[in-house]
Chain A
Amino acid sequence: MTPALIIARLTFLEAVRRRIALAAFLLGVAFLVLYGIGFYFMYTESGIPAPNEPTANVLRSQIFNFLTNAGMYGVNFLAIAMGALVSADTLAGEIGSGTIQSIVTKPVRRAEVVLGKWLGFAGLLALYLLLMAGGVFVIVYAIAGYRVPNPAAGLGIIYLESLLIMSITLACSSTFSTLATGGVVFGLYGVAFIGGWVEQIGTLLRNQTAINIGILSSLLTPSEALFRRAAFEMTSPVAQSLGLSFGPSFVVSVPSPLMIVYAVGYTVAAVALALRQFSGRDL
């Protein structure tokens, strides 16, 4: 086994042994239960038209799309939080406690340690996302018979988003303390969150300055923009053509596919920064 894979497995094992995985799983299940209950009551008690009524299909698909994307927004947030939380302490913590010393004095490149950790977290995030998004998809199908369009594309984008946040966190963690890392990443996420809203409202009010601020914030942290793209992907073509896809982030302006390319580049750059910082620093 290569050193990077040994470290990846160790990272996985750590999440399990330190009950991080268990905590995330239990919270995830709690979220799904809550979501399922909420969805069930909204479905049965809010007068959603029966499938045989005129124009019912368009309306039904709009409402289900809204509810699904609301769920996915929760999943998205949890995946980002998970990506940031598991990786914030990983390098900073090991440098602080000194556990890293007996690792990097083995015949292992420091870059392999960082890549191994990245791979481990990427695996954890994939599992988590599959479980959570799968839960949402199953719930809406079981209760309302609604099939989410393009689940793979939507999930792929959300996965990219969680990888991006995790990579930024890893880069910070290779340089700053755990607390500072948490502060920086939370701040970046906050900027994206607010910026996303500013852009949406700006679009509704046709205010170009607000839109530009939103775009700038999306370039700083593309997380919200990526979610809007993912939500758009998971919207039926009919709703897409109406130009409005409902979700808690009211996707009125859909980021272009270029944003995905940008996010991939951003992720690669963050990983490269993590490698460079960790390889050069004194431990």
Chain B
Amino acid sequence: MTFAIETNALRKEFGENVAVRGLSLQVKQGEVFGFLGPNGAGKTTSIKMMLGLVTPTSGSGSLLGKPLGDVAARAKIGFLPEHFRFHDWLTAREFLTLHGQLYGMKADRLRARLTELLELVGLAPFRHKQLRTFSKGMLQRVGLAQALLNEPALVFLDEPTSGLDPVGRRLVRDIIRDLKAKGTTIFLNSHLLSEIEITCDRVAFIKHGEVVRVSELKTLVNGETGVTLRAGKLTPDAIAGLAHWGRDMRVDGDHITLTVSEEAALPAITRHLVAHGAEVYALTPQRLSLEESFIQIVGTDGGL
């Protein structure tokens, strides 16, 4: 199978400085792929190498089956840069027209996409305003529209929600979901772990410019889970029976904490307690969040 993105030991040195040590990645087509790592881990340089903005010192790679730097392949690739700085003396509509033309889009298709996308990112009322009058969030929205103009097969989003308020973030999530439904591959670089947690299928953790782990998000966040439960009228039988699903149980009055091996245990625990006449007020999984995984994998030194 051809991967949407494949890199083999991509390396970039800036003088003495090694920004990316050797990046090897495979992103499947149609996947939403998260790219995680501490500041200075080489994430942005990695993305720039994939997009041909920076020439790798060594290593190779391909996007959509074409070698890195292939000009024609870019017609099917969308990119929202991290510091979405655009020609701010253009109006939103002119800006999108320019980028559509650079994609080589035909005039009618471009016109249709413009209307559609301005509507989608909520900027239709501002289409004749110059970008210099836009807020950071609005710029990010127009940047996102720019990245989607050509209905790309592969989209790179570098920190797509950094300037957005909660409404904007939800919009980005919805857009990512719709793109995924259409089979678009998405490469998402984000500091917001909650974002990655909601949207991604797989994540790569990188540190010192190397992939330290690639993992399905499900196995990462759906593994062992601590559970806190609060219930009244707990009988000793009911408490003893809990050992069947979990371990490390601690009972403190009507509060119980234990560790279960998977989320699926939670409904069974509820049924067990109810069957033993307990009144369940709360059953809260203390999931090992992505943040904790991040710190476990990358280390508390932040990779410095």
Contacts and interface: CB of A to CB of B under 8 A. Distances in A.
| Interface SS of chain A | helix
B65 to A, nearest CB: 16
B209 to A, nearest CB: 15
A119 to B, nearest CB: 16
Contacts of B244: none
A282 interface: yes
Q: Looking at A14, A18, A105, which has the most chain B CB atoms within 10 Å of its CB?
A: A105
B83 A98 contact: yes
Interface string A1-37: 1010010001001100110000000000000000000
B245 interface: no
A107 interface: yes
Given A102-B79, A107-B72, A282 B55 contact: yes
Contact of A98 (B74, B85, B101): B85
A105 B55 contact: no
A97 B83 CA distance: 9
For the residues of B in contact with A, the DSSP-based class is: loop
A56 interface: no
B91 to A, nearest CB: 10
A199 B51 CA distance: 52
A18 B84 CA distance: 20
Contact of A280 (B55, B71, B86, B87): B55
Interface string A93-111: 0000111011111111100
Interface in A232-271: none
B103 A106 contact: yes
Task: Place the interface of chain A in its size category.
Answer: 20 to 34
A107 B104 contact: yes
A283 interface: yes
A98 B81 contact: yes
Residue of A1, A99, A102, A283 with highest tally of chain B CB at under 10 A: A102
Given A105-B79, A283-B48, A283-B54, A18 B89 contact: yes
Contacts of B75: 107
A105 B74 contact: yes
Contacts of B103: 106-107
Given A98-B81, A101-B53, A109-B71, A282 B48 contact: yes
Interface string A64-79: 0000000000000000
A99 B101 contact: no
A6 to B, nearest CB: 5
A283 B71 CA distance: 16
22 contacts: A6-B98, A6-B102, A13-B89, A14-B89, A18-B89, A97-B85, A98-B83, A98-B85, A99-B85, A99-B87, A101-B79, A102-B81, A102-B84, A102-B99, A103-B102, A104-B53, A105-B52, A105-B77, A106-B74, A107-B74, A108-B102, A282-B53
Interface of A: 1, 3, 6, 10, 13-14, 17-18, 97-99, 101-109, 280, 282-283
